[in-house]
Amino acid sequence: MQALLIAVALSSRSASPSCICMAQRLSIIVVEKDRDRAMLIVDGLRDAGDFDVMVIAEETGLARRIAQRNPDLVLIDAGNPSRDVLEELALATGPTERPVAMFVDQSDGSLTKAAIEAGMSAYVVDGLRADRIKPILDAAIARFHMLQKMRIELAETRRALEERKAIDRAKGILMRARGMSEEDAYALLRKTAMDQGRKLADVASALVLAADLLK
Amino acid sequence: MSVTLRLGYVPLLDAAPLIIAEALGFAEEEGLSLDLHTAPSWAALRDMLVVDQVDAAQMLAPVPVAMALGLGRGPVRFEALCVLNLNGNVIGISNALATTMAQAGYEFDFSDARAAGSALLAAAPVLRIGVPYAFSMHHELLHYWLRASGAAAAQLDIRTVPPPRMAEALQAGEIDLFCVGEPWGSVAVENGSGTLLLPTSALWARAPEKVLATRVGWAEAEPALAGPLLRAVWRAGRWLARSENHIIAAELLTAQSRIGVSAELIERALTGRIVTAPNGREHLTPQLIEFFEGAAGFPWRSQAAWIGASLARRHGLDVVEAAGAAADVFRSDLYRLHLRPAGAILPGASEKLEGALAQATAVPAERGELILPADRFFDARIFDPTAPVR
């Protein structure tokens, strides 16, 4: 399940409502290993407004890096196991003071709904104004939707290619080993798959694996 | 006609009761079809349960308790319907630290927590420690053990490291010690990153580890789903506890990438034959993980109270109040209601002194007797849920 986490941070300036001044640029950290994905998100955020955006690609010492930077928001793909590290950051300022709240706890129903539909959960600092966060969340949701779609398409294409390749290799093996024509080899694979109630690609892969073992 | 239930889990050995309930048809026998979803992190799994993407989830036992105490805010609270397993975690140290301890004469026995604690603190004045999550038995038990072994709070730097990164963090010198659920400890040994020091069962012989969690009120609103689910998970636990099933269990758990490691690594913890060092030393630890024996699945209110008291001490809350609020999170009442028809042996009480049994002891059950195994803490302290030490 791919989703997005937005954590807001924990800096003393944003946790204390008296220090929030509209003039200050919000600083945002994007945690993302893949450079192209990161850039897509950063571009989306740039379109949404004037923010101070930084990308962290390295998972080592993630908590320390984020704490040093003291951002207002952290964006991370929730498919990233390092999300749990951010949870700890959210507690670091003292869990009973509760400077962060889960986004779904907020009163803005439509934004919450959009976030959940995007598979997104979020944290927002108490006192950080919703109107400052909304454009960022909107932009981030849009970009993550786009990324999710691209990822699914890429995975489907890759799988189709791999299946095609396995079937071709299996046909080749049968043609060489049993002196069959390409059509007969394909028909044999298909019949075997049907008889065994398995997918053609699975039968082909099994044959390729077995042939490799016998080499 | 079967009803579909959506369950979430993090790919770890202790997700086994859920995976087995589905794979071997225990759920089907109860008229349930289980739709299993894996989560990449505990935060993600918690959110899946919060927003109703799953009906129930494997959860670190302290997570629902922390929610009840108001730690880590959320709009929804969880409760525990049963305990999925006791223990199943191991403590590992860096090879450098292992060498220092060995040079000081420490003999790695993988069982004596008192000796291991002293040797560890003598070898390292400050310990950087990796645990999977801020609210976890890993964190609570390590804290309990090392403080009782004489460490000052300032000597312990406990931080979150995702389990798949634990071995890497040890090797990179980011941490000196970790506590993690199997198979990730064995993974660290296998790739030469570390040495295993203790199983958590050496700290508390009957420590609740994962629970089956739902949103508060779900089980009462859906008794026709909660009952069959609890019974299917209970039967899966009973199957998992039989030694003759361990090899096939390891295969089933690792098939279809359910848990992404080799069956051989999973087998080590299941059979209790743990390889603790890269040189192949093996220690037989039968109680490394427990899914069934001694009413392991029963959610004792006193277990939750222990967790609540421990969290309260670390986070500056009132200990007595926290222990009381925590106890209500473990729904022993619902467990009785739904497991009675399955013929489970249910204890007569729902609270007990934790850590009081030095050996297996017969206690009154609802019908007949129940044998409770030894449940000692390493320092022989006894936790009284009605009078927790502040």
Q: Could you write out the DSSP letters of every residue in A128-157?
A: S-HHHHHHHHHHHHHHHHHHHHHHHHHHHH
* Alpha-carbon span A87 to B101, nearest angstrom: 33
What mean pLDDT is predicted for residues B312-333? 96
Taking only Cα atoms into account, the Rg of chain B, rounded to an integer number of angstroms, comes to: 20
Q: What average pLDDT does chain B have?
A: 94
Lowest mean pLDDT among A87-101, B60-74, B247-261: A87-101
* Residue A6: predicted pLDDT: 42
* Residue A113: predicted pLDDT: 56
The closest of A154, A152, A146 to A44, measured between CA atoms, is: A146
User: In chain B, what residues touch A121 (CB-CB under 8 Å)?
Assistant: 43-44, 47, 50-51
* Alpha-carbon span B177 to A71, nearest angstrom: 29
B234 or A48, which is more confident: B234
pLDDT of residue A14 exceeding 80, the answer is: no
* Alpha-carbon span A87 to B224, nearest angstrom: 35
Averaging pLDDT over each range in B50-59, B291-300, B361-370, which range is the top one?
B291-300
- Nearest residue, CB atoms, B134 vs list A78, A88, A101: A88
pLDDT of residue A20 exceeding 60, the answer is: no
8 Å CB contact of A91 and B71: yes
CB pairs under 8 A between A and B: 95
* Residue A105: predicted pLDDT: 41
Residue of A nearest to B72 (CA): A95
Q: Hey, what are A71's tokens?
A: 């951002």
pLDDT of residue B83 exceeding 90, the answer is: yes
What mean pLDDT is predicted for residues B169-185? 95
Percent of chain B with pLDDT over 90: 87
pLDDT of residue B33 exceeding 50, the answer is: yes
* Residue A18: predicted pLDDT: 36
Tens digits of per-residue pLDDT, A80-127? 778 788 777 666 544 433 334 344 344 455 665 565 555 555 555 544
Residue pair A183/A84 in contact by the 8 Å Cβ criterion: no
pLDDT band at B54 (very low <50, low <70, confident <90, very high): very high
pLDDT of residue B164 exceeding 90, the answer is: no
pLDDT of residue B179 exceeding 60, the answer is: yes
8 Å CB contact of B40 and A79: yes
* Residue B28: predicted pLDDT: 95
Lowest mean pLDDT among A52-61, B16-25, B131-140: A52-61
Strands, E assignment, B51-115? 56-60, 78-87, 89-94
